Amino acid sequence: MAEAVEVRKVAQESGEFEPKIVAFLCKWCSSAGSDLAGVSRLQYPSNAVPITVPCSGSVSPIYILSAFNKGADGVLVSGCHPGDCHYLKGNFFARRRIYLVQKLLQFIGVEPNRFRMSWVSAAEGTKYAQVIADFVKDLKPLGPHGKLGAKR
């Protein structure tokens, strides 16, 4: 443990650690919101690679776990605000499911800040940029995640 903390500290101090993030964005709101961030030329860190899915409701827990297992330092799922889902209620199912994934991950010792859900509408380009910027900022001090269940 101590060693791992040391490694993380070093990474943190030298400012080299760039967290790898997978962002699952729903097509109608969050992906459109990220498009708006682009159109508005907002600047945010390049750490998050987006995967556009039809709806946050289509994000299976296994996607999230798999992203961590493939070495993601953080995973984001973003959908339409409650009540605004293009598919009426997909995001409500997502919210419940993701809540559970999050609690499970925290239980096995994954820092709460590594996994996030956000509501970003098509009009919220600024919010999208902020969500990514905040996520990167919060992930940096945590250092690399390593794979699930692996020693750090």
Q: Which helix (H) or strand (E) holds 24?
A: strand 21-26
Kindly give, in sequence order, each residue whose CB lies less than 8 Å from that of residue 102, ignoring residues fewer than 6 positions away.
Answer: 112, 115, 117
Site string for another protein, 88-127 (x = CB under 8 A): xxx-xxxxxx-xxxxxxxxxxxxx----xxxx--------
Given candidates 17, 19, 67, 136, which one binds another protein under the rule CB under 8 A? 67
- 29 sits near another protein (criterion: CB under 8 A): no
Indicate the helix (H) or strand (E) that contains 93: helix 90-107
Task: Work out how close the CB of 13 gets to another protein at its nearest, in angstroms, rounded to a whole number.
Answer: 20
Please report how close the Cβ of residue 70 comes to another protein at its closest, in angstroms: 5
Burial class of residue 65, CB neighbours in 10 A (0-12, 13-18, 19+)? middle
Q: Is 12 or 63 the residue whose CB approaches another protein more closely?
A: 63
Q: Please say which residue, 11 or 54, places its beta carbon nearer to another protein.
A: 54
Taking the C-alpha atoms of residue 114 and residue 71, their distance in angstroms, rounded to an integer, is: 12
Task: Answer yes or no whether residue 34 interacts with another protein by CB under 8 A.
Answer: yes
Check binding of 8 to another protein (CB under 8 A). Answer: no
> In angstroms, rounded to a whole number, what is the distance separating the alpha carbons of residues 112 and 123?
27
